[in-house]
Copies of this chain bind each other. A is one copy, B any other.
Amino acid sequence: MPETVEQKINSLEKKIENLQNQRKDRLSMVIFSNDLDKILAALIIAVGAAAMDTEVKLFFTFWAISALRDKNKNAKGKDMKSRMFGAMLPHGTNQLKLSKMNMEGLGKDMVRGLMKKKNISSPEELLATAGELGVEINICEMSMGLMGFSKKEIIDYPNLGYCGVATFLADAGESSMQLFI
Instruction: Tell whether A169 pairs with B63 under 8 Å between CB atoms, given A15-B16, A120-B146.
Output: no
Q: Least Cβ distance of A38 to chain B in Å?
A: 7
Q: How far is the CA of A180 from the CA of B180 in the complex (A)?
A: 6
Least distance between A52 CB and chain B CB atoms (Å): 6
Determine whether the beta carbon of B45 is less than 8 Å from that of A169. yes
Interface flags for A70-107 (1: CB within 8 Å of B; 0: not) read 00000000000110110011000000000111000000
Would you call A169 and B16 a contact (CB within 8 A)?
A: no
A142 to B115, CA, bound (A): 10
Bound Cα distance from A44 to B142, whole angstroms: 10
Which of A34, A63, A165 has the most chain B CB atoms closer than 10 A to its own CB?
A165
Interface residues on A, range: 35 or more
With A23-B22, A25-B173, A62-B41 as contacts: A146 and B48 at CB distance below 8 Å: no
Q: Is the beta-carbon distance between A41 and B22 smaller than 8 angstroms?
A: no
Could you write out 29 A-B pairs with CB less than 8 Å apart? A5-B5, A5-B6, A8-B9, A9-B9, A12-B13, A15-B16, A19-B19, A23-B176, A25-B173, A27-B169, A32-B38, A37-B62, A44-B165, A48-B164, A48-B166, A49-B169, A52-B169, A54-B169, A54-B173, A63-B99, A81-B114, A85-B114, A114-B148, A115-B146, A120-B146, A174-B176, A175-B177, A178-B178, A179-B180
Residues of A that sit less than 8 Å from B by CB: 5-6, 8-9, 12-13, 15-16, 19-20, 22-23, 25, 27, 30, 32, 34, 37-38, 41, 44-45, 48-49, 51-52, 54, 61-63, 81-82, 84-85, 88-89, 99-101, 110-111, 113-115, 117-118, 120, 142, 145-146, 148, 164-166, 168-170, 172-181
